[in-house]
Structure 1
Amino acid sequence: MAVRQVIPPVFQLFIAICDCFTLILSKSFPVQIQIRIDNFTAMNDLTISELIKFHGEEQGDSPALIYAGNTTCYTELISMGQRAARGLSNLGVSHGDRVAFWLPNCPAYVVLYLACAQLGAIAVAVNTRFRSTEVADILSRSGATCLIIWPDFRDINFLQILEELDKTALQNLRTIICYGEEETPSELSPFPSQIEKITYSELVQSQPLLKNHSTPTSGCNIFTTSGTTKAPKFVLHTHQSITNHALAIWRNLEQIIDNGVFFHTLPFCGVFGFNHLSAALAGGKASVIQSAFDAIDAVALIDKYQVHYLSATDDMLLTLLDADLRDSAMPSLVCCGYGAFNLPAEEITKKARQKGVTLVGLYGMERSSGFVRKAIARAHPRTSILAGWKISFQAGQSSCAQVRTLEIYFPIIKVVSWSLKGQA
């Protein structure tokens, strides 16, 4: 497998030793320090296809996705992604095209995401809670040529919502891909007649496409962010930003996950949920997936698969704690990362303490990395982790409003619709 910009092991060792001395001087280390150089530390600037291919070669028969009692191994996942890539290519999807994912968590989401990544197409995340106004805005501004939906998910008529859109919002749309889990799907509704419609099951019957059409600098994800403007802002990520970030999260969670699995109930359409999915793929671990949050079912899955780590919003976590009637809730968890979005922090931390669940506060795009180290240090020997991003501290020379600020440079590109083609 081709690996770009590999750091020679001797320099890795030197950097790791320096990092250990930093820990010693800061007195922030536990009893034992380990220096570890493995395959992941050599990976830099990979495409998503290269990263997933690595795990296909290393552990092809290992579980990749677990959903509704069915297991898909890494070899099968890669094959399905390549078949979907061929199917998308036959529909005219190519490098730089935007494919909108208005889709709940399911294996098809992962397969189609890998297919887009292989083609160099850009996956545009659309929240399934969005309705006509938000969807019209995102489809129009992103210029999406393909839309993926689950037409009757939770008895919501997504095609009816599309029918209510201003037709100018659909002017770039050429294809709708319909996913369903019913024996007699209703996805091929006549609307809209001018747009080609195909089922997901038909798409993955194509012959595999083996060539990777992406590069590390190709765009691959667009997420929408809340902000001060009236419409959500678009953030375009490249393959290298996604893979580097996923590997960084995996390194931080590796000792907690250990030989276990990732559990996904947060939606993949947001960075909170997507980060967990990408970290699982980066670590070559299994992902247990819920299509929608159900607390009782989630507790049962956490027990069944002995989940060691979980991320959730505060209200989801409170619901999980209430759903588990045992004195010690979800006993397999080492810790749970959460974001305080809707409830006072004191309320959720008190409840978790009473139920024996260790909480870790998460913040920002990293979501599940830095603060988790505290929980790792309590339970495991410390492993030096090098993030690799540029950080500078310049007194009196800053682009920010205040001088003497810490500036962190992330590989994230903010774009608007008119510049998407150039960025791709």
Structure 2
Amino acid sequence: MAAADNDPIDVLVVGAGMAGLACAADLAAAGLKVRVAEASDGVGGRMRTDVRDGFRLDRGFQVFNTSYPQVRRRFDLRSLRLHPFTPGALLHTPRGRLRFTDPTRRPRDSADLVSGRLASPRDLAALAVLSGRDMLLPPAVLRRSADVTTREALARAGVSEALVETFFRPFLSGVFLEDRLETSGRFFHLVWRSMLRGTLCLPAAGIGAAPAALAEALPRGTVRLEQPVEGLTGEGALLGGGREQAARAVVVATGPAAAAVLLPGLAVPDTRAVTTYYHAAPTAPLAEPTLLVDTEGGVLNTVVLSEVCRGLAPAGRALVSTSVLGGGGREAEVRRRLADLYGTDTAAWEPVAEYPVAQALPAMAPPWPLTRTTRFAPGRYVCGDHRATGSVQGALASGARAAREVLADLAAA
């Protein structure tokens, strides 16, 4: 339920990213008066799409996983007009390109995997057991397992160091945004499960279509854009311009740094940084919607997004997305590396955009709690992927948990 501008409300949600929108949706469905205050000019947080010169540019490379439980609960996937990536990846190695793919989905593309060029028979057996376990066991079993680093989890599964270095480390570097496999092994097992059970896609209009769909489903007037929150007060929150919004509860659904400003004393994790570069090419350097992974670490990965969805680039142009760890300012270096990866002259490629994302993901070192309470203080809550796992599922689930805890506390008051 939305409220008029000056009315007291039940809950103020600060931030219109995926966590905040999920929280607001569940609170509104329960009949509460909810408002979402978003400082920027659009919803989505890190999941936004810009339109520039006919290109649709996500603010950082994104994929949309159809297997996430919260995704299945909240989205009409057909309305997003999803376009799939090729399952698996192409690996650029010193031995040339090798293709890693799920042989149960793309048997015709699995020659590198089953022939021994990519994995030994022992690795194939270990991979089969690992994948079968992660895909078939109940998620609760995976969540309760002892937490170690992803590197240790792979070793315990019998995966050789050779396959780790050829596939898992470079591929997962683009997922976890770190290149030492230090991330929680429990989280790795859940991510691997989601990839095996779902499809990695992009909406036809770019990743921003997902949070836009959540916002459009809220009662009219719930989301207020360009409405910064300057601080929290005893009665609610102080909005930009000096106006106070009275609310029985406030949910801070921002990134960790902004949350710590509004909630002094909040413990926040370290974060991972990534920069995504977009280039326009006259023709597609790879005529398939497949992620190309750089095993030598020049970049994390690159993909021709206009092969995933033609509408992401204007007619006669190809849109190439490439991500690297850390900050930006390396466009010329990246473009030179792309010439090696794609085996083509990139000198004439046009730089379209550069998106550095300083707090792209929480650094999820083990033991990492896969979920935690959103309660911070009486009437104060905090949610986001940094309170769960660095994923769309984590953000949505944290928002849902915040709504449950708010509803329980208000009912008990």
Shorter-chain TM-score above 0.5: no
Query: Which structure shows the bigger proportion of residues in strand conformation?
Result: 2
Question: Which structure: greater helix fraction?
Answer: 1
State the TM-score, normalizing by the size of structure 1: 0.29
